[in-house]
Structure 1
Amino acid sequence: MFDLRQYLEGLDLLYSSGQGNEAEAYLKKGLKQAAAAGENGSILAILNELMGYYRAAGRYEECLLCADQAMELADAMGLAGTMEYGTMLLNVATGYRAAGNYAEAEALYRQAHLIFRKHVTGPDYRMASLHNNLSLLYSETGRLDEAKQELELAMDIIRKLDDAEIEVAITHTNLGNLCFQMQEIEEGKRHMEMAVRIFEKTRDGKDSHFASALSGLGEACFHEGDLESSANYYRRALKEIDRFYGENEYYRVTKQNLSLVSDLLGRKQAAEKSKMKGMELARAYYEKYGKPMIEIKFPDYAGRIAAGLCGEGSECLGYDDVLSTDHDFGPGFCLWLTKKDYRKIGARLQEAYEALPKEFLGYKARNTTSHGQKRVGVFEIGAFFEELTGYRKAPEDDESWLSITQENLRTATNGEVFDDPLGKFSKRREGFLREPETVRLKRLCLSLGRMAQAGQYNFPRAKRREAIGAMYFSLSEFIQASTETAYLLNETYMPFYKWKIRGMETFRRIPELCTLLEELMQKDLRDTGVEKIIEQICRMVVGELNAQGISDRKEVFLEEQKGAVFERLVLMERKKGQKDD
């Protein structure tokens, strides 16, 4: 005779004593013993336990094999329609969900729900578990609102049950994870904190969901920028996962998260300690290792290699801070060669560069992402500028200049040159530093026209129609066009979009425009102050156009100013044509 109760107590003891990695062998042995005893009910119970083990371990093929065997056995035993059958369906459905077979899982959950509704009259753990698992399915298939509703139904049931503290904690954990998916980070963290408090107070070492709650808090702290706490929670989660399942896929993912957080924490601490900006770090790294490397290994080219840090990255703009250290940041610099020199030593110089020490002044090696490739290292001068602008050297005609965006021109000309003994790189760079006046005026014509159309004409019309969408897009277009106009009037290339406002803070001309744009962004669309700020910005632009002698008109409607700029442009091109003749 097979004693199922005693057998399951032994299984619980394995988990509680930290020997969860021995559970598989124990369960398989139990299957053989139950089969030898002819105990189908025991076989079914062990199959359900084995399903849960394989599911948690990420071994889905074996989980579904157990699920099929369990369903065949239950049908043969005539259990269809019973609560036992519904409970088994719930377990099987969860296995299918974990394996990504969502349609099959949802159909099985529905069958289980029908059975539970028929038999359950009051608060019941199995009904709560069904809502919990349906929620997970909905969240994994993008139906987040439905997922949250199911979890709230589960919580209503569980709170009415006796001795259900652990189940309440599990549901808080699930709600926390769902809130993270919905970008409701604060609420998610509250749920995780409640879950951890319950687990720490009442857990008896038998529940693996504690690790999920700890990981959730690790994620929440990461989003908040509290890297120390995040790393601590991930470490605790790893211990719990290892205790129950060993080094499975969940363990590896959590370990990877811990590694990422620890790396970022180290970079953050180095930045806070040194107070060094990225450009200073690059220059110091070059002086310490780069320059000596060139002099020792490439003495014949030491007077021909340019060095510095230019191109993409906030450090090239001088806008980097502690947060910037989380990606594409660390010791590094650029080396630029002429086409002839690149053919001769480019590959060898790159190898020598890559052999330089990876850590410097407490900073770890650059944490390069897929988007941050080729920002440092060895470049051929012409190829460097072609990659950023589409041209190996500054264009000679306006049409070509206009094909290069302001953002790309800013990227190609920012940063610093540390050494350029040959002067070739600096000369090529200077060609891109200032576009022709006719090109600036052509860009101004476009941006002024967009300001007039979007802000002075279309926004008030959209407002009269109460067309919210049109109001948003009109205001957005006006802000963008105003920003472009401001940079053009300051004769400065506009940077990548997230740095546009930051770049305006140092404007010499119409510096007040930055504050007005930020104020405009915070206004309610229906506020009458929106149109007042639009007109104030337009008057400010007109004043600067007059001050620079680009226009002598006083009209605030910028379509008129666009006409004045165009007339000046025509006059300039006519004089240029006469001079060429």
Structure 2
Amino acid sequence: MIDYFSDPFYEVAHTFGKFYREVGQYEEAERMYEQALAGKEKALGPNHTSTHSTVNNLGLLYSDLGQHEEAKRMYDQALAGKEKALGPNHTSTLATVDSLGQLYMDLGQLEEAKRMYERALAGFEKALGPNHTETLITVDNLGQLYMDLGQLEEAKRMYERALAGKEKALGPNHTSTLITVHNLGLLYSNLGQHDEAKRIMYDQALAGFEKALGPNHTETLTTVDNLGQLYSKLGQLEEAERMYERALAGKEKALGPNHTSTLITVDNLGQLYSKLGWLEEAERMYERALAGKEKALGPNHTQTVITVANLGQLYIKLGRLEEAERMYERALAGKEKALALGPNHTSTLITVDNLGQLYSKLGQLEEAERMYEWALAGKEKALGSTASVKGAEQEFSMPQV
């Protein structure tokens, strides 16, 4: 038996941990990283840069598993150690800063995420240049941030910069390049350019991930889930159901039933069932998603609030108007409060518009008028006079860069 607590076998354990994480075998990855960390702390000490590297990678693993508190503890430990040992602008330090940005994104703390990404980008550009792959990964992550903020032109600028650089440096079929391709597909979907989104996500991203990583890798399943959303928008509901069921089965096996990525697919299935008129099934999906998100993310996280709003819309279809009003008012309060959204974000405006419709049904015409005027003014400011803000809210799974 290999003694992972002796030099150099803790490095072997670290390498195996990285391999297992990359192929989605998370339990094995955790076991290897924990053995590597114990070996390094004993042989090298807790403040050695190699020890910090394993701590950082444990943070990445916990983030993959949706264990956000554990991930943050690892990242904070790694960052403090790297800043002391290597300095605040060393590329290894900046990689942890970037990872913290991704964690804050997952937690819905977008202002903190932006601060981390901007620090990482400025540091990478200075240390490595604007076209280095590490720099481009942060550029891509900033694109995701701008997507979440509804700043779609900024997101497009980031993604196009990242894609051009990655294609040149890594080639069109590298998994990092494919992640950016996938993100561009999401952007085109948000812009209403569905044919372009389908071409990019299906012909390029999904085919590339299946070839490079296999059909059941979490990156592949993320694209499958988002293709389900695209088919739903196009009215191809059988195709959407097939995509969602494949994504859900794969995520439940790879990540577990209560991982936030799994719950996003559960929520999306709820929306599909609602469209199909399968209202009891939709309610079951939404209630599962809401319970899981409240436990994992808290009651006021933007992802939780999206499910609350979707439950409100379902209750209207079921004729349960008082429950719908309670859900919509909770969702609106949450979205207005969220730093990421605010009163004029498109997600907020969807709930405002839906509240207007509900108040109209309830005969509360003054309240309905106030909601409609709010929605119209916000829509024209944020999207232009021809855009629509009506409907349920879909959640895109974002790939890990």
Q: TM-score, normalised by structure 2?
A: 0.61
Match of 2:43 in 1: none
1:82 and 1:93 map into 2 onto residues whose CA distance is: 17
- Asked if 1:146 is matched to 2:239, the reply is yes
- Asked if 1:66 is matched to 2:166, the reply is no
Match of 1:249 in 2: 346
Match of 1:35 in 2: 125
Q: Which amino acid aligns with 2:100?
A: G
8 Å contact from structure 1 (residues 210, 240) kept in 2: no
CA distance 1:203–1:25, change in 2 (3 Å): closer
Match of 2:53 in 1: none
8 Å contact from structure 2 (residues 231, 237) kept in 1: yes
CA distance 1:18–1:156, change in 2 (3 Å): closer
Match of 1:172 in 2: 266
Q: 1:51 aligns with which of 122, 137, 143?
A: 143
Question: Relative contact order (C-alpha < 8 Å, sep 6+): which is higher?
Answer: 2
Deviations 1:7-36 (A, max 9, x none): 134325645776424544553443222211
SS at match of 1:225: coil
- Asked if 1:226 is matched to 2:320, the reply is yes
Runs of 5+ unmatched residues, structure 1: 268-324, 331-357, 359-363, 370-581
CA distance 1:365–1:213, change in 2 (3 Å): closer
2:182 and 2:107 map into 1 onto residues whose CA distance is: 28
Q: Which amino acid aligns with 1:140?
A: K
Backbone CA RMSD of aligned residues: 3.0
CA distance 1:24–1:147, change in 2 (3 Å): same
Match of 1:567 in 2: none
Q: Which amino acid aligns with 1:256?
A: D
CA distance 1:230–1:147, change in 2 (3 Å): same
Q: 1:181 aligns with which of 268, 275, 282?
A: 275
Q: 2:303 aligns with which of 209, 212, 237?
A: 209
8 Å contact from structure 1 (residues 21, 246) kept in 2: no
Shift of 1:263: 5.8
SS at match of 1:81: coil
CA distance 1:97–1:222, change in 2 (3 Å): same
Structure with the larger helix share: 2
Deviations 1:473-517 (A, max 9, x none): xxxxxxxxxxxxxxxxxxxxxxxxxxxxxxxxxxxxxxxxxxxxx
SS at match of 2:173: coil
1:244 and 1:366 map into 2 onto residues whose CA distance is: 26
Deviations 1:335-362 (A, max 9, x none): xxxxxxxxxxxxxxxxxxxxxxx8xxxx
CA distance 1:76–1:170, change in 2 (3 Å): same
CA distance 1:365–1:53, change in 2 (3 Å): closer
Q: 2:288 aligns with which of 177, 191, 194?
A: 194
CA distance 1:19–1:147, change in 2 (3 Å): closer
CA distance 1:151–1:17, change in 2 (3 Å): closer
2:108 and 2:262 map into 1 onto residues whose CA distance is: 23
Q: TM-score, normalised by structure 1?
A: 0.43
1:222 and 1:254 map into 2 onto residues whose CA distance is: 13
Shift of 1:201: 2.4
Q: Which amino acid aligns with 2:230?
A: L
Q: Which amino acid aligns with 2:200?
A: L
- Asked if 1:104 is matched to 2:201, the reply is no
SS at match of 1:178: helix
Q: Which amino acid aligns with 1:32?
A: A
Shift of 1:195: 0.5
SS at match of 1:245: coil
CA distance 1:168–1:47, change in 2 (3 Å): same
1:13 and 1:240 map into 2 onto residues whose CA distance is: 20
CA distance 1:192–1:122, change in 2 (3 Å): same
Segment of structure 1 superposing worse, 58-67 or 196-205 = 196-205
Match of 2:355 in 1: 258
Match of 1:161 in 2: 254
1:184 and 1:176 map into 2 onto residues whose CA distance is: 9
Runs of 5+ unmatched residues, structure 2: 1-89, 373-401
Q: How does 1:432-581 map to 2 (within 5 A)?
A: none
Q: Which amino acid aligns with 1:261?
A: L
Shift of 1:234: 2.1
1:203 and 1:123 map into 2 onto residues whose CA distance is: 25
8 Å contact from structure 1 (residues 131, 153) kept in 2: yes
SS at match of 2:172: coil
8 Å contact from structure 2 (residues 98, 117) kept in 1: no
1:85 and 1:30 map into 2 onto residues whose CA distance is: 19
